């Protein structure tokens, strides 16, 4: 299976060049021009590694790192910048960034860093699976199996893969069975930041809708996600 790599850079030439280098190596590559769109992409799709420009208008690279570490901690990140400084490098490494490369990095440097980043990701996932296998798989009364490590839902021959945000939301529901969670609580638990009640509703509505759509074939999960009018959601007990 090809790895999914996200290239984030506000400079069109740099973005295109990085994308071409990675595609020639056989990776699935998506390129995005700013941090806000990058975060939205990670919420919706599985991303194995991000090549991320540090200096961008709006959300800069470190802002993106903070959010991605909350919503998709298994995603590896490589920061790229033309403005290298010890201070920014230390801050990047403190926030669990795999590598820090100065522009213009050579194709060889980029590919070597990407290769090591993906290897590190696989090693972390393997360690996490071995250390917490007993709590990563949930089974329901109708033999539906939820694998939180793989973000998959399986029943018989039917399998559905979830995005990082969808998988995290389902994990929160499974861990809080029968408890009414407000919109704000859910956004904080799933996305890692606090927002107003109105903003939380706007964030959750499409996310819950996408999750429920994917769970249509799994009634023991689908039917238990219930909206509590004006408050939030509850994942009802079986």
Mean pLDDT of 77-85: 78
Q: What is the mean pLDDT of the chain?
A: 86
Q: Which strands sit side by side in the sheet containing 180-182, from one edge to the other?
A: 180-182, 232-235, 225-228
What is d(CA 53, CA 43) in angstroms, rounded to the nearest whole number? 19
DSSP SS3 for 112: helix
Q: Which pLDDT value is given to residue 163?
A: 84
Q: Which residues are bridge partners to 15 per DSSP?
A: none
Pick 134-235's CATH classification: 1.10.10.10, 3.40.50.300, 1.20.120.420, 3.40.50.150. Answer: 1.10.10.10
Identify the CATH assignment for 4-130 out of 3.20.20.140, 3.30.310.50, 3.40.50.450, 3.40.50.2300: 3.40.50.2300
Please, is 100 exposed, middle or buried when counting C-beta atoms within 10 Å of its C-beta (0-12, 13-18, 19+)?
Answer: buried
| For helices 197-214 and 164-175, angle between their N-to-C axes, nearest 10 degrees | 100
Lowest-pLDDT range of 37-51, 53-67, 87-101: 87-101
Report the Cα 191 to chain-centroid distance in Å: 9
By C-alpha distance, which of 214, 210, 219 is closest to 238? 219
124-162 pLDDT, tens per residue? Answer: 776 655 444 445 788 888 889 998 878 899 999 999 998
Q: How long a stretch of residues is the chain?
A: 238
What pLDDT shows up at residue 88? 63
Complete DSSP assignment for 136-184: HEEE-TT--EEETTTTEEEETTEEEE--HHHHHHHHHHHHTTT-EEEHH
- Residues paired with 154 in a beta bridge: 145, 159
The dihedral through the CA atoms of 53, 54, 60, 63 has a sign that is: positive
CB 149 within 8 Å of CB 135: no
Q: Return the domain boundaries, the chain.
A: 4-130, 134-235
Predicted confidence at residue 132, as pLDDT, reads: 45
pTM (whole model) above 0.85: no
Whether residue 104 has a cis bond before it, omega within 30° of 0? yes
């Amino acid at each position: 299976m090809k790895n999914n790599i996200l290239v984030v850079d506000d400079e069109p030439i740099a973005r295109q060049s990085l994308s071409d280098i990675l595609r020639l190596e056989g990776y699935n590559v998506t390129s995005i021009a700013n941090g806000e769109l990058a975060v939205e992409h990670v919420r919706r799709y599985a991303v194995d590694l991000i090549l991320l420009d540090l200096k961008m208008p709006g959300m800069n690279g470190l802002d993106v790192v903070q959010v991605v570490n909350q919503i998709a901690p298994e995603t590896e990140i490589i920061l790229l910048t033309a403005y290298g400084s010890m201070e920014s490098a230390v801050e990047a490494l403190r926030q669990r960034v795999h590598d820090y490369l100065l522009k213009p990095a050579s194709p060889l440097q980029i590919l070597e860093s990407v290769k090591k980043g993906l290897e590190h990701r696989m090693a972390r996932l393997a360690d996490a699976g071995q250390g917490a296998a007993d709590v990563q798989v949930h089974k329901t009364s109708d033999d539906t199996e939820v694998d939180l490590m793989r973000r998959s839902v399986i029943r018989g021959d039917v399998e559905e893969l979830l995005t990082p945000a969808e998988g995290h939301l389902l994990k929160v529901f499974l861990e809080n069975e029968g408890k009414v969670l407000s919109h704000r609580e859910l956004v904080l638990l799933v996305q890692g930041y606090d927002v107003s009640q109105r903003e939380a509703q706007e964030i959750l509505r499409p996310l819950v809708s996408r999750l429920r759509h994917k769970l249509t074939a799994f009634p023991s999960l689908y039917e238990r996600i219930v909206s509590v009018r004006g408050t939030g959601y509850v994942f009802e007990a079986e």
